[in-house]
A and B are shown apart, each in its own frame.
Chain A
Amino acid sequence: MLSNLLHINTVWVMASTMILGIAAGGIGCLAYWKRQNLMSDALSHAALPGVVVAFLIIQEKNLLLLVIGAALSALLGAFFIQWFTSASRITEDTAMGMTLSVFYGVGVMLLAIANRSPGGNQSGLNNFIYGQAAAMVRSDVITMVVLAAIVIFIIFIAFKEWKLFLFDPDFAKGIGLSIRGMNVLYTIVLVTTIVIGIQAVGVILMAAMLIIPSVSARYWTHSFKMMILLSSVIGGISGAFGTWVSSTGSGLPTGPFIVLTSAAIFAISLFFGKEHGIVIRYIQFKMQQRSSQLDQQVMTGRGGRSQ
């Protein structure tokens, strides 16, 4: 097991999933407060046709170009969701469900065509659906790490602006911050994180990397800053630990182990979390009960004396 850990390729992949986890944890907090948890799921599905179209155009597997294709198609998906909800009486979750399934269907159609083209079958395009971090080569890792680092940088450098944007948009407008600009930046950062993550953990599980760390972090703090930090740490730990577990056996998928690691952290937070954890709430409830019982006794005691 230790020799496995020291294997140079494993270290590379672990580093990249860890950075991915940190970026996803941070941006997940923004999505959490924008109440768009499932948006990540819709957008990661919507990225598939873009990946395949990019591949059909350039005829080789260059991660950066595929990521650009994925980002464009995910942005198109985001635009459709926005359009359907604002221009008709379709609700947001219906629009998300439609967009994700139809885009994904188109992706599968195109994938069938791409797999027929020479070399298409060996291109590893299927890895984009189910995710196989171990299949990443060094240049992929570098692309991923650079993009993830940019995302992390944007989240932390504009921390104050994000806070205003999420919690007090009116005030933000008042001091001259462009809400529209922030919305565009938010969508771009979200889409970037999703598309670089797809190859490592797959379309379906990418949503978990954005949702679970932020919800878990919510159980430990009330401060937005701490929540982002904690969520990033949880994401990073899940990424690294999940990759390590999946590298101990042959043919074990990476994404699911990352997701289960963060799900375990969520379960711990749900029970033992400092803020509103089940155990804490139970103890508070019991204390309340006891103090009110005491009050009752005191009151009846007094009542007795006065008579």
Chain B
Amino acid sequence: MSYSMWIILTASLVGLSCGLIGVFLILRKQAMMADGISHTVLLGIVLAYMVTQEVSGPAMLIGGIFAGILTAFLVQTLSSLKVRHDASLGIVFTSLFAIGVILISTSVGNVHLDVKHALMGEITFIPFTTMDIPLIGSIPKATALLLLVLLVVIFFIVAFYKEWKITSFDAALAASLGIPVIFFHYLFMTLVSVTTVASFDAVGAILVVAMLITPAAAAYLWTDKLIVMLFLSGGFGVLSAIIGYWIATWLDTSISGSMALATGCIFFVTFLLSPKHGLISRLVRPAELREEQEA
């Protein structure tokens, strides 16, 4: 397969897994949590590096998951101590990120790990580090990792589909039905962290946030059905990867930045044109119908 195909494939995998996870992020009203976790994952990666002295896939994943769960736990703790939820997120993620940056600049100081690379991502170099997989041949390491993560994400969504649905839409009902809501909260945060870490190395933190939130938000304006929203969101993720790559080659600029822009464009078009919740349909809809819908 050609060089650019690998890049598009890798980014599409990011778009798919982030799109699926993002649907639940939005429905659970925790979009900013994605922003927080995508930053604290840096601390996890640095710690994993300090322990193992190498930048390897499994160690990074474990470090990132640890950091993600730590973030979720600290935010939950501060909230239970009556600090406002958004304030606790702001305090926790900036502090953990600050610790990560200081560790990088002091003890680690290593070429493999610099903040800039981590935040902007270098998807351009993905096809150069490959590994051999029997039956398929050599594929880039990051792509293989993302494929694995996508399978894990799909497995958990399908296996607990009903539980996700109920805990996301009506946590009180879920609790009364005996579904362990807290357990599902942490399981979900673990999935967010896994997706973030795996995508992190490939595309950088900012594109992860864009891919997690924006396609799902666009899908949210198209449909009221969860299953449709999942498919749409994943599809939008893949579409933005392709459009973004095209923009990047056209303007000769950052690939992840362009993909983030593409997610934004898709959302904006949706925002204007969506048949049910779009701006234009709101304007042209007859007044009595509008009242009826809003009532």
A: residues with CB less than 8 A from B are 32, 35, 37-38, 40-41, 84, 87-91, 93-98, 100-102, 104-113, 126, 129-130, 204-205, 207-208, 211-212, 215, 249, 251-253, 255-257, 259-260, 263, 266, 270, 276, 278
Contacts and interface: CB of A to CB of B under 8 A. Distances in A.
B217 interface: yes
Nearest to A209: B94
Contact of A104 (B106, B260, B278, B279): B260
Given A109-B254, A251-B105, A94 B213 contact: yes
Nearest to B267: A98
B209 interface: yes
Nearest to A45: B206
B196 interface: no
A256 B99 contact: yes
Given A101-B214, A130-B116, 7 more contacts: A97-B212, A98-B210, A101-B207, A108-B256, A112-B254, A208-B94, A215-B91
Nearest to A277: B81
For the complex of A and B, 4 pairs with smallest distance between CB atoms: A105-B260, A102-B264, A208-B94, A256-B98
A37 B115 CA distance: 25
Contacts, number: 187
A98 B214 CA distance: 5
B221 interface: yes
Interface of B: 26, 29-32, 34-35, 39, 78, 81-84, 86-87, 89-91, 94-95, 97-99, 101-102, 105-106, 115-116, 119-120, 206-207, 209-210, 212-214, 217, 220-221, 248, 251-254, 256-261, 263-264, 267, 271, 277-279, 282
B136 to A, nearest CB: 32
25 contacts: A35-B84, A37-B90, A38-B90, A41-B32, A87-B279, A88-B271, A88-B277, A89-B220, A91-B26, A93-B29, A93-B30, A97-B35, A100-B209, A101-B207, A102-B210, A105-B206, A105-B264, A108-B206, A109-B257, A109-B261, A112-B254, A205-B97, A207-B94, A208-B98, A211-B91
Contacts of B220: 89-90, 94
A98 B90 contact: no
A110 to B, nearest CB: 8
A88 B279 contact: yes
A129 B39 CA distance: 14
Given A84-B271, A278-B81, A259 B94 contact: yes
Contacts of B102: 252-253, 256-257, 260
A105 B91 contact: no
Contacts of B119: 129
A38 B33 CA distance: 11
A87 B282 contact: yes
A104 B209 CA distance: 10
B271 A208 contact: no
A263 B34 contact: no
Nearest to B89: A38
A259 B282 CA distance: 44
Contacts of B251: 109, 113
A255 B98 contact: yes
Contact of B210 (A101, A130, A208, A276): A101
A104 B205 CA distance: 11
Q: A91, A100, A109, A212 — which one has the most chain B CB atoms within 10 A of its CB? A: A109
Contact of A101 (B29, B209, B277): B209
Contacts of B279: 87-88
A91 B217 CA distance: 9
A270 B79 CA distance: 12
B90 A207 contact: yes
A205 B257 CA distance: 20
A33 to B, nearest CB: 11
Contacts of A252: 102, 105-106
Contacts of A211: 87, 90-91, 94
Contacts of B82: 276
Contact of A94 (B26, B116, B278): B26
Nearest to A126: B116
B206 A205 contact: no
Q: B120, B207, B253, B258 — which one has the most chain A CB atoms within 10 A of its CB? A: B253
A106 B257 contact: yes
B293 to A, nearest CB: 11
A204 B94 contact: yes
A96 B31 CA distance: 8
B261 A263 contact: no
B287 to A, nearest CB: 17
A176 B116 CA distance: 50
B277 A259 contact: no
B90 A105 contact: no
Contact of A37 (B86, B120, B210, B212): B86
A100 B35 contact: yes
Q: B90, B98, B256, B263 — which one has the most chain A CB atoms within 10 A of its CB? A: B98
A204 B221 CA distance: 29
Contacts of B39: 204
A204 B31 CA distance: 17
